Amino acid sequence: MSKGPDDKKIEKITKILKNNKKEGIWIRELARQVKMPIATVYYYLSNFMENEVEIKPAVFSGIQHKQMKIVKLRDVR
């Protein structure tokens, strides 16, 4: 039986994302700052916050790196 999302985890993630709203943040760095495993952060982002965030592969020198993800809050207009 699933107990659902932890609101405190969502609040922690959202707070860090708001502080990095313009440029976004690496998922690995986000996980470090909220003191949660990367898998947990990714699970919350993709299952409970999917309408509030954008998750994109990192791009270096025109090459996408699918294992490296940048996440940021969506622009609300």
**3-58 confidence digits (pLDDT tens):** 889 999 999 999 999 999 888 999 999 999 999 999 999 999 999 999 999 988 87
Whether 2 has a pLDDT exceeding 70, the answer reads: no
Question: Residue ranges per domain, the chain?
Answer: 7-72
DSSP symbol at 75: P
Residue 68: exposed, middle, or buried by beta-carbon count in 10 A (0-12, 13-18, 19+)? middle
Q: What local confidence, expressed as pLDDT, does residue 63 receive?
A: 72
Q: Which fold has domain 7-72?
A: Arc Repressor Mutant, subunit A (1.10.10)
pLDDT, position 30:
96
> What pLDDT score was predicted for residue 62?
76
